A and B are shown apart, each in its own frame.
Chain A
């Protein structure tokens, strides 16, 4: 059963299409990653799903409710949790008062349980909260009424790495308990880490929809190696290295192969310094989803 069904959803602001004919389904019991650079239209899709803005054309269903049917959508929200990217709390309330406010509208049977994992200072006013505390309060309100579907817009921004990891584990537990999670992010590694399936949006258009394994293969690693000179570039560069740039004795490339094989390969050289990280999303797009300017998937050309 599809928990979210998006059908040719389009939202235009004048000439600009923030969402242009987006179609995909999110199935029950999966963590669906909605990946795209900032400004790609992720938040627009989410705001359409919640009925905060209306579609120019096309439609979507959330838990069976058509987003154009305000009454049905309002009822469906009893079973939806939402963590927005910008958290607009009532600043003068304490965290506890804010949770009480949401609880009156949709219940809080799991409040204490979620508060054991994420602990914002409930007795302090929200205006004194750090970004991390605000995010934690947002997570608690999104899950405390035990919704069937949770929509998370950049959920880990502002969280320290430990809390991010806790969030990822929590999402997996929720998924295993049957929840459906719609997870938007611009961080490739995060989506690779936690999601089952991924939709990639760029400039308002869905450019790819795939299992996370496929994405893992395509993601690659961003590698920078500083070698002790001189070195033999012909011997160093392998076929898994893409976009190789060499400046003096430093080589910068995207590695598309197995990380273990890369490490073994590097051992054969005299290395001063090495940095391995996630590629920028833009680079992934460039390599696997066609050139930025053309706006068409590589396979289609």
Chain B
């Protein structure tokens, strides 16, 4: 039974291409300004308040690895792509219920579990588009600047970024089965992912506050560590994957029990 997966995948193509295009353009702009940032990196690190550096995970800004891990990936991947995944997932169920599409879908011999899982599985489309688009612009940007990055680290920074995005999607899906309005679900999902990102950054500045950050997904995905130090936190990625599965199970649990009104 893959009819829902096929349909949902098709529906995500346009948005995924649009998102990837925008993020690639944004990344390209970052690469254009990199030489001037590189020249002034020491000044940046002096002038920027400590919290901003921590918030963005900025280290070794004068190297291409530090720039990618501290500037490009935190903005593009963790913040913007994370918000997109949460936003799109938050619309998945609630919109179909509101527009009565779910009635017709569920009149087929397909279980609610299967419908929800297939819808989430359709996120392979934006995942693939984002990975390909980002890999292409990073390779092109690095080459254009006459720099080089470890290909292994580049693969890892993408691969370990996927569980992070899935957690964002998980947040969205849970909201999508719990809340009754499309706009509310999507705005809440967007807000939650943004606040989690903010809490992670802020918690790192204050030792008393630090443990709170353990509940934010971005704590478990550190592009700077991967690119600058080549530290591959597979366990952290496992934590994210487990969190995603828990959120998905929670969404299924709620969805199969609730009334489709």
Please list the residues of chain A having a beta carbon within 8 angstroms of any beta carbon in chain B: 47, 50-54, 70-71, 74-78, 80-82, 84, 86-90, 92, 101-102, 104-106, 141
User: Is the pair A89, B107 in contact by a Cβ cutoff of 8 Å?
Assistant: no
Give the distance in Å from the alpha carbon of A301 to the alpha carbon of B102 in the complex: 43
User: Is the pair B6, A52 in contact by a Cβ cutoff of 8 Å?
Assistant: no
**Most chain A CB inside 10 Å of its own CB: which residue of B2, B101, B109, B259:** B109
User: Is the pair B102, A88 in contact by a Cβ cutoff of 8 Å?
Assistant: yes
Residues of chain B within 8 A (CB-CB) of A105 are 1, 3, 108-110
Residues of chain A within 8 A (CB-CB) of B103 are 47, 50, 52, 82, 84, 86, 88
* Chain B nearest Cβ from A66, distance in angstroms: 16
**Most chain B CB inside 10 Å of its own CB: which residue of A76, A77, A141:** A77
User: Is the pair B260, A52 in contact by a Cβ cutoff of 8 Å?
Assistant: yes
* Chain A nearest Cβ from B11, distance in angstroms: 8
Say whether B99 faces chain A, with CB atoms less than 8 Å apart: yes
Say whether B242 faces chain A, with CB atoms less than 8 Å apart: no
User: Is the pair B106, A50 in contact by a Cβ cutoff of 8 Å?
Assistant: yes
Interface residue count on the B side (C-beta < 8 Å) = 25
Give the distance in Å from the alpha carbon of A52 to the alpha carbon of B2 in the complex: 21
User: Is the pair A74, B261 in contact by a Cβ cutoff of 8 Å?
Assistant: no
Residues of chain A within 8 A (CB-CB) of B109 are 74-78, 105-106
With A52-B259, A52-B260, A53-B260 as given contacts, are A89 and B104 in contact (CB-CB < 8 Å)? yes
User: Is the pair A89, B101 in contact by a Cβ cutoff of 8 Å?
Assistant: yes
Report the tally of A-B residue pairs with Cβ distances under 8 A.
Answer: 72
Say whether B150 faces chain A, with CB atoms less than 8 Å apart: no
Say whether B148 faces chain A, with CB atoms less than 8 Å apart: no
User: Is the pair B111, A104 in contact by a Cβ cutoff of 8 Å?
Assistant: no
With A74-B109, A75-B109, A104-B6 as given contacts, are A82 and B104 in contact (CB-CB < 8 Å)? yes
Give the distance in Å from the alpha carbon of A86 to the alpha carbon of B109 in the complex: 20
* Chain A nearest Cβ from B177, distance in angstroms: 14
Closest to B261 in A: A53
User: Is the pair A82, B107 in contact by a Cβ cutoff of 8 Å?
Assistant: yes
Residues 1-38 of B, flagged 1 when their CB comes within 8 A of A and 0 if not, give 11100110001000000000000000000000000000
Please list the residues of chain B having a beta carbon within 8 angstroms of any beta carbon in chain A: 1-3, 6-7, 11, 96, 99-104, 106-112, 256-257, 259-261
User: Is the pair A88, B256 in contact by a Cβ cutoff of 8 Å?
Assistant: no
Closest to B99 in A: A88
Residues of chain A within 8 A (CB-CB) of B257 are 54
Residues of chain B within 8 A (CB-CB) of A90 are 7, 11, 101
Give the distance in Å from the alpha carbon of A50 to the alpha carbon of B261 in the complex: 12
* Chain B nearest Cβ from A205, distance in angstroms: 21
Q: List 21 A-B contacts (CB under 8 A).
A: A50-B107, A53-B261, A54-B257, A75-B109, A76-B109, A77-B109, A82-B103, A82-B104, A86-B103, A87-B100, A88-B104, A89-B101, A89-B104, A90-B7, A90-B101, A101-B3, A102-B3, A102-B104, A102-B108, A104-B3, A105-B108
Give the distance in Å from the alpha carbon of A197 to the alpha carbon of B142 in the complex: 76
* Chain A nearest Cβ from B4, distance in angstroms: 8
Give the distance in Å from the alpha carbon of A86 to the alpha carbon of B103 in the complex: 9
Known: A92-B11, A105-B109. 18 other contacts (CB 8 A): A47-B103, A50-B103, A51-B106, A71-B111, A74-B110, A76-B109, A77-B108, A82-B103, A86-B103, A87-B100, A87-B104, A88-B100, A101-B3, A102-B108, A105-B1, A105-B3, A105-B108, A106-B109
Give the distance in Å from the alpha carbon of A70 to the alpha carbon of B115 in the complex: 14
Residues of chain A within 8 A (CB-CB) of B6 are 101, 104
Residues of chain B within 8 A (CB-CB) of A47 are 103, 260
Give the distance in Å from the alpha carbon of A50 to the alpha carbon of B3 in the complex: 20
User: Is the pair A88, B101 in contact by a Cβ cutoff of 8 Å?
Assistant: yes
Give the distance in Å from the alpha carbon of A106 to the alpha carbon of B109 in the complex: 7
Give the distance in Å from the alpha carbon of A77 to the alpha carbon of B54 in the complex: 55
User: Is the pair A80, B107 in contact by a Cβ cutoff of 8 Å?
Assistant: yes
Closest to B7 in A: A101
Residues of chain B within 8 A (CB-CB) of A51 are 106
User: Is the pair A52, B100 in contact by a Cβ cutoff of 8 Å?
Assistant: no
Give the distance in Å from the alpha carbon of A179 to the alpha carbon of B211 in the complex: 64
Give the distance in Å from the alpha carbon of A54 to the alpha carbon of B103 in the complex: 14
Give the distance in Å from the alpha carbon of A106 to the alpha carbon of B102 in the complex: 16
* Chain B nearest Cβ from A153, distance in angstroms: 10
Of B96, B100, B108, B259, the residue contacting A84 (CB under 8 A) is: B100
Residues of chain B within 8 A (CB-CB) of A87 are 100, 104
Residues of chain A within 8 A (CB-CB) of B107 are 50, 77, 80-82, 84
* Chain A nearest Cβ from B195, distance in angstroms: 33
Residues of chain B within 8 A (CB-CB) of A77 are 107-109
Of A70, A81, A84, A101, the residue contacting B111 (CB under 8 A) is: A70
Give the distance in Å from the alpha carbon of A76 to the alpha carbon of B259 in the complex: 19
Residues of chain A within 8 A (CB-CB) of B7 are 90, 101
Closest to A141 in B: B104
